[in-house]
Amino acid sequence: MIDGVVFDLDGLLIETEEIWDEVRETIVRERGGRWTERAQRDMMGMSSTEWSRYMHDELGVPDPSEEINRLVVERMAERYRAELPLLPGAIAAVKRIAARWPLAVASSSNRPLIDLVLELSALAPYFRATVSSEEVARGKPAPDVYQEAARRLGVAPERCAAVEDSESGIRSAKAAGMRAIAIPNRSFRPSDDALASADVVLASLDELEPEAIELSGGGSASSRRGR
């Protein structure tokens, strides 16, 4: 039985993984750091505290992590205000699921960016609770952000379904005890092992119907869609 649904944000409702990558790489190079091929994947799912420290410690950005964080968030917000990169079907999918269950957001984005996305998209009224991983001890794939989202919803984690696009997000939701619905990120597809751990795998947000949520709460593995 599912009593609440928790959405990821980046890569699921908005196509921003490439923008995060571009903004952070630009700042690393501007500040004399060393961008690496693995940097983007390493930082996926990290909280702002974690990735700003990573940029300082591993990529050689000389500024304090707090200043790195401020610069990245400022530039991300500028990009969002210029053009919010909503993924096709995002608004309709949220509205469909909100008509049936209370919703929350559990995101690795900073609090100001979560709030800005929901304001610009006019989706804020559909979410009862929102959580940034900067508000908990550990970012994804640790379960903290999903556990806190369930707490704010007032629903036990095991009675929640999480909708995710990334490997770290799927693992975070499962570690929290939630059912996981995966809509794989097109640019940074989760591993086969991570997708195998999901309860339902869908091809796109257009397939995110109440029936898929219900299936995650009790469908058999053989009946999972999109495999």
Q: Which residues pair with 10 in a beta bridge?
A: 14
Angle (CA) 67 73 112, round 5°: 115
The letter for the amino acid at 24 is R
pLDDT at 160: 98
pLDDT at 172 over 60: yes
Residue type, 88: P
State percent of the chain over pLDDT 70. 96
Whether 45 and 164 have beta carbons less than 8 Å apart is answered as no
Average pLDDT over residues 57-64: 97
Q: What count of other Cβ atoms lies within 10 Å of the Cβ of residue 101?
A: 19
- 227 pLDDT tier (thresholds 50, 70, 90): very low
- Count of other CB atoms within 10 angstroms of residue 19: 16
Q: How far apart are the first and last CA of the chain?
A: 22
Average pLDDT of the residues in 169-176:
98
Sorting pLDDT into bands at 50, 70 and 90, what band is 217?
Answer: confident
Predicted confidence (pLDDT) per residue in 182-203, tens digit: 999 988 899 999 999 999 999 9
pLDDT digits (tens, 9 = 90+) for 137-146: 999 999 999 9
Does residue 120 come out as left (phi exceeding 0), alpha (psi in the -120 to 50 range) or beta? alpha
For residue 221, is pLDDT > 90?
no
